[in-house]
Amino acid sequence: MSRFSAPIAEQIWDMKYRLKGRDGKVMDESVEDTWRRIARALAKGDDAPEAREGEFYDALQDFKFLPAGRITAGAGTGRAVTMFNCFVMGTIPDDMGGIFDMLKEAALTMQQGGGIGYDFSTIRPKGADVKGVGADASGPISFMDVWDAMCRTIMSAGSRRGAMMAVMRCDHPDIQDFITAKRDPARLRMFNLSVLVTDDFMQAVKDDGPWDLKFNDTVYHTLKARDLWNQIIQSTYDFAEPGVIFIDRINAMNNLSYCETIAATNPCGEQPLPPYGACLLGSVNLARLVNDPFEENARLDETALDDLVRTAVRMMDNVIDTSRFPLEAQAQEAHAKRRIGLGVTGLADALLMVGLRYGSDQAAQQTEEWMKQIARAAYLASVDLAKEKGAFPLFDADKYLASGTMQMMDDDVRDAIRKYGIRNALLTSIAPTGTISLYAGNVSSGIEPVFAYAYTRKVLQNDGTRTEEEVVDYAVQLWREKFGDKELPDYFVNAQTLAPLDHVKMQAAAQKWVDSSISKTINCPEDISFADFQDVYMQAWDSGCKGCTTYRPNDVTGSVLTVSETSDKTPEADTGADVVYLSEPLDRPKELEGNTYKLKWPESEHAIYITVNDLVVNGHRRPFEVFINSKNMEHFAWTVALTRMISAVFRRGGDVSFVVEELKAVFDPRGGAWMEGKYVPSILAAIGGVIERHMIHTGFIEGEGMGLKSDPHAQVVNLDAPRGQACPKCGQYDLRMVEGCMTCGSCGHSKCG
């Protein structure tokens, strides 16, 4: 009998975690083989490895402990891979050579699939003097364009996608440009953005006081703190970015504040890390630990939880000594502090099973109690490891116990640490668990509420046919098995019905006993007022959260999958409808109005001339055809092909501005060029920019970045079906925001890798 409780779980395992040879030959015949492979690999570093292997296997069995995907896919395979998910890179120097050294390190890390976080606050602002060259600085955002192009290049080489996080301090002179940088839909697509918000700034916001934007103690501009705060929140309200990271709170509560300063996080925000820090993640599946679910005496098995946490800490500590690292500096940082990020998944399902409404005061209190129990068990397990293997190398008992997190720890734990030391400097973190939650039977993700009770998924088979299957939340499925068609109780809530402040309450309750941070998305309704939206962020600050990420569906960000609020109406995730085109090609008159532009690409011997001819329709000019010419014969074939393809699209009619965005997004693996103070990733992107300026000049589009992001002619036949954005991997219309990342409920594909 299969261990998988849902077909999607087995499909995720087969696609992402099952060991196969390079020829596709299956090595893991069953999921039990996968568990055995992981257990055996992680037990090798222990005394009595055979006994440890059995202990580790029991923890993995039935999806009780879920190591992060890198561990599940990589442990015991014999492959030279990193089992760490994400990294914060080194501090970027404020000089050209150092900046590009950092770019190289980022490329090497991303080549192994690691997500990276960077603080760009260390680069001087746009317009600042560059001594010795008689020029003005281009600013940090221009260099972010270079990182963005690098990430595209790594992806084009076939490497696993790794996300990037860019952060900037709230007092950097370029912070206002940073806040709005992604309003151009073709720019910085590989980045998540967050603002590092300080305690002083939040106090100035509350006091409606002034705020200095400065670099190296030089004040460039002063504005009202509340005005800058409103700009941040307005951009998030409109575009779902940037996020907010309360950086002073993170450093104040850091167990290692005596030997490191944190200035950035990994891409999903749950791991604030120092330069070259790495995050090692795993999750305890609370949904598998509830006894007598939905009964009057339903309860979480606390003894089983303690045992599972202790085993998980040992397994994760062993990963540090087993894993490879892209850079030596990352290996040294990991071994010096031995931080791990043990978290949970299935919290919302577990709360439902014990009869609590996610977001209620009782659920928040229960969450805090469970998280404290996990923290205690994790710290005591790490103390036991220190007795056996030694404390982490940078351990200093007096300084460590004086840190923000440790001051509120129970006395028995503090006494044990003082006496024996501790193996791991930090131990807890709540990570995105979108894919591993599907793998574990579609349990609720991390500490998020249940996203949807059920939805229909269409699966593309090898013969090209599609089959339908219902994907049901783990707790809902359990309810159905016990009570059949009996109506769900009132305490069943999901992300579609939950009030935003209830999200904040749950995040704050969990944060109290998490020594790192939490990846959490606060879902807001589209019609939430701006004032209420602002209040979400202020409540996150006031209640002790270390950051805040929201998602409000709108015309810009797109809507996630529409779902039913009751379990008896299951929405479809895809209609499978054919694509139809809504307009006939336009006829060409004998004469057209047009303009010709000269484009000089750096390092190219000959200029390129671009002619755009327009058709006048109802008094308005619209692009009809393009001609691209160059004396450089290396350009001949592709310029002819581009001329024909773009012209064919333009002649179809309708809003064809999406062509501009597609061209501007093209990157050249050999590198782009600086043009008019902006990094352009390829010559094709430069051509797209020329066509865009022509469209602006003729009034076809309103301004830069205002072109469509997709072909408006490709409309599905069934317009009434619930739809969102299509997954770029499987094509299903099943993307939803999960813990800061767009994640596909059908195949598990995530923006964050």
Dig out the tokens for 406 from the structure: 């440790």
Distance CA 731, CA 136 (A): 45
**What are the pLDDT digits (tens) for 397-449?**
999 999 988 999 999 999 999 999 999 999 999 998 888 998 999 999 999 99
State the residue for tokens 């087995």.
10
pLDDT band with cut points at 50, 70 and 90 for residue 738: low
Q: What is the CA radius of gyration of the chain?
A: 27
Long-range contacts of 525-528 (CB under 8 A, 24+ apart): 525/500, 525/552, 526/552, 526/553, 526/554, 526/559, 528/500, 528/552
Widest CA span in the chain? 91
689 backbone φψ class: left, alpha, beta (φ>0; ψ -120 to 50) = alpha
Reply yes or no on whether the pLDDT at 730 is more than 90.
Answer: no
CA nearest 208: which of 224, 223, 222, 228?
224
CA–chain centroid gap for 165, Å, is 8
Dig out the tokens for 622 from the structure: 């619209």
> Considering the chain, what is the average pLDDT of its residues?
86
- Helices 302-322 and 31-43, packing angle to 10 deg: 70
Work out whether the CA dihedral 434, 440, 442, 444 comes out positive or negative.
negative
Cα separation values, 675 from 125, 131, 682, Å: 18, 22, 11
At 496, phi and psi to the nearest 5?
-75, -25
- Yes or no: say if 685 and 663 are a contact pair by the CB < 8 Å rule: yes
At 742, phi and psi to the nearest 5?
-70, 120
E-state strands within 120-190: 129-130, 135-136, 164-169
pLDDT of residue 555: 65
Dig out the tokens for 205 from the structure: 């916001």
Distance CA 49, CA 303 (A): 24
**What are the pLDDT digits (tens) for 359-407?**
999 999 999 999 999 999 999 999 999 999 999 999 999 999 999 889 9
The two beta strands, 164-169 and 218-224, are: unpaired
Average pLDDT of the residues in 543-562: 76
Average pLDDT of the residues in 1-27: 85
The total number of residues written for the chain in this structure: 753
More confident residue, 282 or 156: 282
Distance CA 219, CA 215 (A): 7
**What are the pLDDT digits (tens) for 478-512?**
999 999 999 999 999 988 789 999 999 999 999 99
Per DSSP, helices labelled H in 354-458 are 361-389, 397-401, 411-420, 434-439
pLDDT of residue 470: 82
3-state helix, strand, coil in the chain (%, to 5): 40, 20, 45
Distance CA 65, CA 378 (A): 14
Reply yes or no on whether the pLDDT at 572 is more than 60.
Answer: no
Average pLDDT of the residues in 315-323: 95
CA nearest 678: which of 138, 128, 100?
138
**What are the pLDDT digits (tens) for 603-646?**
677 788 999 998 887 677 888 889 988 877 777 788 888 888 88
Mind spelling out the 3-state secondary structure of 504-548?
HHHHHHHHCCCCCCECCCEECCCCCCHHHHHHHHHHHHHCCCCEE
Is there a catalytic annotation at residue 270? yes
- E strand or H helix at 624: strand 620-630
Distance CA 295, CA 572 (A): 32
Which of 170, 268, 524, 752 is an active site residue? 268
N-terminal to C-terminal alpha carbon distance within the chain: 31
3-class secondary-structure state, position 165? strand
CATH second-level architecture of 11-83+271-420? Answer: Alpha-Beta Barrel (3.20)
- Yes or no: say if 473 and 316 are a contact pair by the CB < 8 Å rule: no
pLDDT of residue 550: 93
564-601 per-residue burial string, b: 16 or more CB within 10 A, e: under 16:
beebeebbbbbbeeeeeeeeeeeeeeeeeebeebebeb
**What are the pLDDT digits (tens) for 285-303?**
999 999 999 999 999 999 9
- Yes or no: say if 517 and 428 are a contact pair by the CB < 8 Å rule: no
3-class secondary-structure state, position 114? coil
**What are the pLDDT digits (tens) for 80-102?**
788 998 899 999 999 989 999 99
Is there a catalytic annotation at residue 86? no
* Distant-in-sequence, close-in-space partners of 208: CB < 8 Å, separation ≥ 6: 224, 225, 226
Is there a catalytic annotation at residue 268? yes
Local structure of residue 430 (DSSP, 8 states) = B
CA–chain centroid gap for 5, Å, is 27
pLDDT of residue 715: 41
- Maximum mean pLDDT: which of 76-85, 352-361, 591-600: 352-361
Reply yes or no on whether the pLDDT at 464 is more than 70.
Answer: no
pLDDT of residue 203: 98
Strand partners, 678: 675
Strand partners, 473: none
- Yes or no: say if 63 and 288 are a contact pair by the CB < 8 Å rule: yes
pLDDT of residue 566: 42
**What are the pLDDT digits (tens) for 115-153?**
899 999 999 999 998 876 667 889 999 999 899 888 877
Which of 53, 241, 270, 662 is an active site residue? 270
* Distant-in-sequence, close-in-space partners of 647: CB < 8 Å, separation ≥ 6: 624, 625, 626
359 backbone φψ class: left, alpha, beta (φ>0; ψ -120 to 50) = left
Average pLDDT of the residues in 702-718: 59
Domain boundaries defined on the chain: 11-83+271-420, 90-252, 593-698
Reply yes or no on whether the pLDDT at 711 is more than 70.
Answer: no
- Yes or no: say if 667 and 644 are a contact pair by the CB < 8 Å rule: no
Which of 266, 318, 424, 442 is an active site residue? 266
pLDDT band with cut points at 50, 70 and 90 for residue 336: very high
Distance CA 267, CA 741 (A): 9
Cα separation values, 290 from 92, 301, 416, 445, 510, Å: 47, 6, 30, 16, 19
Reply yes or no on whether the pLDDT at 234 is more than 50.
Answer: yes
